[in-house]
Amino acid sequence: MNVKYFLFLILINVIFYTGNSYAEESNSITPIYSVYTNAIPGLLNEDMTGAFVELNNEISKRAKINLVLNIIPPKRLRSSFHKKEVDIVFPMLTSSFDKGFIYYRSSAFYVKKDFVYTLKRKTLVSTMKQLEMAKGTIGLTRGYSYPEKLLSNSKLSFDYSPGDNQNMLKLTKNRITSLIVEEVSGIHAAKKTKVQGLVQYDPKTPLFTQDVFYAFQAKPSLIKVKNAISKAINEMKADGTLKKILRKLQP
């Protein structure tokens, strides 16, 4: 056999074997994706505890992908996604996005329920009509997402604070007449500020509800991870794991 031809065959085998080995090794590596989020007291805490952290970990495990959470401020979270600086954000709502903005979303894993808190000596408020009739200033949290039907209501006046705790204190000091807050976050804020005995809300009647999900940039490269996350969420719904995790959020 020609020596040059023999050496050529050896070289081809080495390249082929090395390529296959690399491919097999690469396939065994768990894909890593950065997921940008914001701290939500009682749900996703600064120290990476909370039901949403546990939920994300379980989804990572089932989807066989490493979803690494990165906490950034709420306003920056929305801005970065709209500017397409980040690919995956969580937890998100339909109201988190500008009208017409195109994105992918996973299956919903939670329903966000917002309630109206008032002082105990006041009448309970649980509808938009009652909110309009109550008059006064409504406390909202800067950077959070609220439905357009609320924000565009010309009969309502809003005051923004950097956090739910500040809003609770403003309410007890009569600087606002009511505040709108997600149930778990509201309970957490009332406890944190030690005003549970001064404030109230109607737990049976949320002002509005919104589905919560992962959002992805509308890139073909993210379709596979979107589908894997949705599949994991749907499996968790079916086998009761999702309900078990979220049960910890019950007031």
DSSP H helical ranges for the chain: 3-27, 51-63, 74-82, 128-134, 148-151, 164-172, 183-192, 223-239, 241-246
The residues spanned by each domain of the chain are: 32-110+212-249, 111-208
pLDDT tens for 66-89 read 999 999 999 899 999 999 999 999
Does the domain formed by 111-208 have CATH 3.40.190.10?
A: yes
pLDDT tier at 41 (50, 70, 90 boundaries)?
Answer: confident
Per-residue pLDDT for 246 more than 70?
A: yes
CB atoms inside a 10 Å sphere around CB 152 = 8
What pLDDT shows up at residue 172? Answer: 96
Question: Rounded distance, CA 181 to CA 146, Å?
Answer: 10
Per-residue pLDDT for 239 more than 90?
A: yes
Token digits of residue 202: 């109607």
Question: Rounded distance, CA 2 to CA 113, Å?
Answer: 78
In CATH terms, 32-110+212-249 corresponds, of 3.40.50.300, 3.90.79.10, 3.40.50.2300, 3.40.190.10, to: 3.40.190.10
Question: Rounded distance, CA 185 to CA 62, Å?
Answer: 28
Same fold, 32-110+212-249 and 111-208: yes
Per-residue pLDDT for 34 more than 90?
A: yes
Average pLDDT of the residues in 122-148: 92
Question: Rounded distance, CA 188 to CA 185, Å?
Answer: 5
What pLDDT shows up at residue 18? Answer: 39
Question: Which residues, other chains included, contact 46 with Cβ-Cβ below 8 Å and sequence gap of 6+?
Answer: 39, 71
What pLDDT shows up at residue 30? Answer: 79
Q: Using the 8-state DSSP alphabet, how is residue 40 labeled?
A: B
pLDDT tier at 2 (50, 70, 90 boundaries)?
Answer: low
Q: What is the pTM of this model?
A: 0.81
Per-residue pLDDT for 197 more than 80?
A: yes
